[in-house]
Amino acid sequence: MRKRRLHPAIALAVIAGLLAPGVVTAPPAVAAPTGGKKVIANLFEWNWPSVASECGSTLGPKGYGFVQVSPPQEHVRGNQWWVAYQPVSYRIESRKGTRAQFKSMVDACHAAGVKVIVDAVINHMSGQDNGGVGWAGSSYQHHVYPGIYQAQDFHYCGRNGNNDIVNYHDRYEVQNCELVNLSDLKTESDYVRSRLAAYLNDLLSLGVDGFRLDASKHMPAADIGNILSRLSRPAYIVQEVIYGAGEPITPNEYTGNGDVHEFRYGKDLARVFRSERLAYLRNFGEGWGHLPSGVASVFVDNHDTQRDDGGVLTYRDRGIYALANAFMLAWPYGSPTVMSSYTFNNRDAGPPSDGNNKTHNTVCYSGWECEHRWQVIANMVGFRNATEGAGVSNWYDNGNNHIAFSRTGRGYITINHEGSAINGRSYYTGLPAGRYCDVIHGTFTNGTCSGPVITVDANGWFSANIPAHDALAIHQTARLP
C-alpha cells in the first residue's frame, strides 16, 4: 500500500511475437525464496479459481516458483482495487472467493509445483469513518471490529487534525498515525500481535508458503519480528518498505525479518531504458546503492507503482516493458517478481467484476493484461531458473544502448535498445558448442524450438543480427539435441 493512495472516502513498437497469447531473535522466516525456481508471479486481484487454473496451465509449466495472491481476508464493500487492503475481519472470504476455494487454489498450485505467497494486511483495518458491513456480512466501525479489535487496540496519534500521517520525516508519525485514515493497529500490543499471528497461522494451516507484508514501513521492524516469531512454521517473508530520500525509516532496518521490496530498482531501470544508456547497467543493483542482493525483492512495476509512479515502466510500454523484464530475469540481483495486471484507465478501478463487485474469472488479453504470459517474459523465467547461482561474465557494451553478458557457463543474452539494428556481429558466450533456442523469439518444447535456433561454435561464439529494440537469449536447458 502506497503512502500516496487517495483517501478511501474519495473515491514502440512491439517485438515480433512478444505478446503471444523489543528485539525478537530468530523469527521462523525464510530470507529468500527457496528451491531452484524463485521467480514470483503477482496475479493481482485474480480470483481463486483462476489462480488455481493458471498454476496448472502456465505458472508451473513455465517454471514460476511462486504465485503472489491479493489479500484474502474479508474487506469493505466497493469496486475499487484498494478495498482488499481494508480488512473488516480475518475470515477468508472476499470478492475473490471463499475459504474452500482458497484452499483448493493452494492445493492446485502445490500440485503444479508452485508455492503461494499471500499479500497480508497487518498494519491496519478499514478507513471508513462511518463503518458498515463487510463483504462476508461482518459489521464494523472505524475502530471497532466485534470479536477481533476494540478501540484500545488502535493508535491515535493526535496529530494533523485527523490522526493522518503528514510528515514522512517523523518516525513516530509514520508508525503511529494513520495511513490515509486507515485505523492503525497497535502492533506493540501483545494482544494485537497474537491476533495478527493467529491470522497468519490460519493461512499457514491452509498451506500458504509465505507472506508479502503490506505497509511494513508503518510498523517498527521489531513489532514485525515479534509477530513472525509466533508463526507455526517457517515461511518466506517479503516486506513493503518504500525508500524515501532523507527519511529516517529505511528498508535496511527490516532485512532481519526477511526480504524487502527494493522500490528504487524499477524507477532506476525505467529511467535507463527511457532516457539513459543500457551500458550503465553493468553494476546494477548493489552498485547503485540498492539493498544487498540476498534480501532484495525486485520488480519492474507492481500494483502500486504502475498507478502512482510515472517513473516506472508498465504494460502500456509494451515492447520496452518486455525488454526491461527480460533484463531483470537475466540479471542476478535480488528475487524477481513479474507483475500481471488488469487493464485500467482510472487509478482506483477494480478488476473486471460482476454487478455485485465479485471478481470475474480471468480471461487473458480481454480486460486482463497477463504480462506473465507474454512470450519474452514467460520464456525468460526458464532462463532465470537455468542460470540460478551463476555469475556474470563476458560483459559487452557499445557505450550506449547495446549490451550483452553471460551467466557463466549457463546462459547468454544480448539486448539492442538502439534505434537501428546491430548486424554482422559475433558474440562470445562461453557456452558449450551446440544449437540453442532463442527464447526471446521462440519456445523450447520437447527438444524443439518454435523460433530461431542459434549455433554456438566450438570456441563459444555465435553470429547474429539483432533488430532495434530487440534481444536474443539462449540457455543450457533450451539446447537442442
Q: Which residues contact 434 (CB under 8 A, 6 or more apart)?
A: 455, 456, 479, 480
Cα(224)–Cα(116) distance, rounded to whole angstroms?
20
Single-letter amino acid code for the residue at 354: D
Q: Which residues contact 5 (CB under 8 A, 6 or more apart)?
A: 82, 179, 180, 304, 308
- Which residue in 214, 268, 304, 438 is the catalytic one? 214
Answer for the pair 43, 67: CB distance below 8 angstroms, yes or no. Answer: yes
H or E stretch including 414?
Answer: strand 411-416
- Which residue in 74, 184, 240, 259 is the catalytic one? 240
Is 190 among the catalytic positions?
no
Is 418 among the catalytic positions?
no
Answer for the pair 197, 227: CB distance below 8 angstroms, yes or no. Answer: yes
Cα(126)–Cα(83) distance, rounded to whole angstroms?
9
Q: Are strands 422-428 and 461-466 parallel, antiparallel or unpaired?
A: antiparallel
Cα(341)–Cα(207) distance, rounded to whole angstroms?
25
Strand ranges in 104-241 using DSSP code E only, listed in sequence order: 115-120, 132-133, 139-140, 210-213, 235-239
| Rg for the chain, CA atoms, rounded | 23
CA-based nearest residue to 71, from 217, 212, 165 = 212
Cite the active site residues.
Answer: 214, 240
